[in-house]
């Protein structure tokens, strides 16, 4: 299947190979993003306002990196429009998910927020008109079963959490569109330029939503917001956007499931939440899925 989905080679990149460095970047990007829910909870602003600061505080670094990689060249207008459109979807994704985080359990928000993994796999099937087979099918089953085990003990279906659950699910849909658009625009724009443009157009939308909701915008403690900007936007999104042309939507979707595993570990480390045998087994299943999905790259074309 994945032999049919070749990476989009960016004009500003060297010939792309989905080697171990690309996959490591994709994994570490998702690990950095998995810390976001905890930092949003720690921020003393409103949830959407914290998303606004995540982008605004990251913009100077993104602009510097973009200027250095572009060498002062103006990006093509068409690519800017696509990146701006991606930024609109990303702003709506963050707004929905950040509000969802505070209206449901973290486990619920993590589970539904990562529904983008399923949507990206479905998008991959749609593109190739081919169902996953062999190692890829086994990897998908292991990844989703492992995530279900990880979230199953802390997930709770309740009318009290319905709004938060639906917002988190909506965030997953919006993030899927964002990833698809950014993967397309990376065929023309270098990573920091693409991320900088999308972030620039996302920030004012988030500020407008935060003000419309009557949220507290100005923080008293900047530490969680600075950490959120660095870990989620600069490191997390930076590594993922750099990796996008190197992998198919199927691989991108599966690696999103690293986030529930890391969120469970973060809960154990930061809040003393217990990790039982089922949690550990679920994490091992997700890890095994990531190993299996890389097996085809050892023989033929990189996935």
Q: What are phi and psi of 102, to 5 degrees?
A: -90, 0
Domain boundaries, the chain: 20-294
Q: Alpha helix locations (H) across 71-133?
A: 77-101, 106-113, 116-128
Tokens found for residue 167:
């917002």
Poorest-confidence range of 42-51, 72-81, 155-164? 155-164
Q: What is the dihedral of CA 257, 258, 261, 265, to 10 degrees?
A: -150
Q: Is the pLDDT of residue 265 over 90?
A: no
Looking at the whole model, is its pTM more than 0.85? no
Region 121-146: mean pLDDT is 74
Asked whether the beta carbons of 168 and 96 are under 8 A apart, the reply is yes
Q: Which residues lie below 8 Å from residue 196, measured CB to CB, with a gap of 6+? A: 59, 62, 63, 65, 66
Please determine, for residue 249, whether its predicted confidence score (pLDDT) is greater than 90.
no
- Position 289 scores a pLDDT of 65
pLDDT in tens, 194-233: 999 999 999 999 999 999 999 999 999 999 999 999 999 9
pLDDT band at residue 244, thresholds of 50, 70 and 90? confident
Mean local confidence (pLDDT), 132-141: 72
Confidence of residue 142 (pLDDT cuts 50, 70, 90): confident
Residue 125 has pLDDT above 70, yes or no: yes
Tokens found for residue 240: 């993922």
Farthest CA pair distance, the chain: 55
**Once rounded to an integer, what is the mean pLDDT over residues 288-300?**
53
What's the whole-number average pLDDT of the chain?
78
Task: Give the pLDDT confidence score for residue 302 in this predicted structure.
Answer: 36
To the nearest 5 percent, what fractions of the chain are helix, strand and coil?
75, 0, 25
Decide if pLDDT at 3 tops 60.
Answer: no
DSSP assignment letter at 5:
S
> Which has the closest alpha carbon to 12: 60, 63, 73, 62?
73
pLDDT digits (tens, 9 = 90+) for 172-183: 899 999 999 998
H/E stretch holding 163? helix 162-185
For residue 186, give both structure tokens: 């990376």
Q: Is residue 106 over pLDDT 50?
A: yes
pLDDT surpasses 60 at 296: no
3-state secondary structure at position 183: helix
State the pLDDT at residue 92: 96
User: Residue 163 has which token pair?
Assistant: 């709004």
């Amino acid at each position: 299947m994945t032999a049919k989905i070749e990476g989009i080679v960016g004009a500003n990149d060297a010939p792309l190979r989905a080697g171990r460095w690309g996959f490591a970047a994709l994994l570490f990007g998702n690990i950095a993003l998995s810390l976001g829910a905890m930092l949003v909870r720690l921020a003393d602003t409103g949830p959407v306002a914290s998303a606004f600061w995540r982008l605004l505080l990251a913009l100077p670094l993104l602009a510097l990196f973009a200027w250095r990689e572009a060498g002062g060249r103006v990006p093509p207008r068409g690519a800017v429009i696509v990146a701006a459109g991606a930024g609109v979807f990303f702003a709506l994704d963050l707004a929905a998910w950040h509000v969802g985080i505070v209206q449901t359990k973290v486990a619920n928000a993590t589970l539904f927020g990562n529904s983008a993994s399923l949507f990206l796999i479905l998008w991959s099937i749609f593109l190739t008109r081919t169902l996953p087979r062999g190692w890829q099918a086994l990897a998908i089953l292991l990844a989703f079963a492992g995530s279900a085990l990880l979230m199953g003990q802390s997930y709770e279906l309740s009318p009290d959490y319905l709004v938060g659950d639906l917002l988190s699910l909506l965030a997953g849909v919006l993030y899927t569109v964002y990833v698809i658009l950014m993967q397309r625009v990376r065929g023309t724009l270098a990573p920091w330029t693409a991320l900088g443009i999308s972030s620039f157009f996302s920030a004012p939308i988030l500020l407008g939503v935060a003000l419309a909701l009557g949220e507290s915008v100005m923080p008293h403690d900047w530490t969680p917001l600075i950490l959120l900007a660095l870990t989620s936007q600069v490191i997390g999104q930076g590594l993922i956007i750099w990796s996008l042309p190197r992998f198919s939507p199927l691989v991108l979707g599966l690696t999103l499931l690293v986030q529930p595993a890391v969120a469970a570990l973060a809960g154990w480390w930061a809040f003393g939440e217990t990790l039982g045998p089922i949690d550990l087994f679920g994490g091992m299943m997700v890890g095994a899925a990531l190993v299996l999905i890389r097996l085809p790259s050892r023989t033929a074309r990189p996935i």
